């Protein structure tokens, strides 16, 4: 069952399934950063006010704003 990326909490692991992002340029940017379908991510930190969110992906840490993750669907492990 897929869930929105933004619902993940610190310590959660998930696999990126797909994205329903209307802005082609934004999805392309995220794919360039390594957020491609089938990739495993782990939420490592969330800022005190909930934005940004830091994830561990492909051996490096990446910080994303919650609005950048809108439309990304994941399967929680």
Separation CA 53–CA 65 (nearest Å): 6
pLDDT, averaged per 10 consecutive residues of the chain (77 residues), comes to: 89 90 73 88 92 92 88 91
Domains in the chain with CATH codes: 3-76 (2.30.30.90)
φ, ψ at 53 (rounded to 5°): -115, 135
DSSP reduced 3-state for 65: coil
Indicate whether this model's pTM tops 0.75: yes
């Amino acid at each position: 069952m897929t869930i929105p990326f933004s619902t993940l909490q610190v310590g959660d692991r998930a696999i990126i399934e797909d994205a329903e992002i209307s802005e082609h340029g934004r999805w392309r940017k995220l794919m360039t950063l390594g957020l491609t379908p089938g990739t495993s991510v782990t939420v490592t930190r969330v800022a005190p006010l909930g934005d940004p969110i830091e994830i561990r992906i492909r051996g490096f840490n990446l910080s994303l704003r919650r609005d950048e993750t809108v439309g990304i669907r994941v399967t929680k492990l």
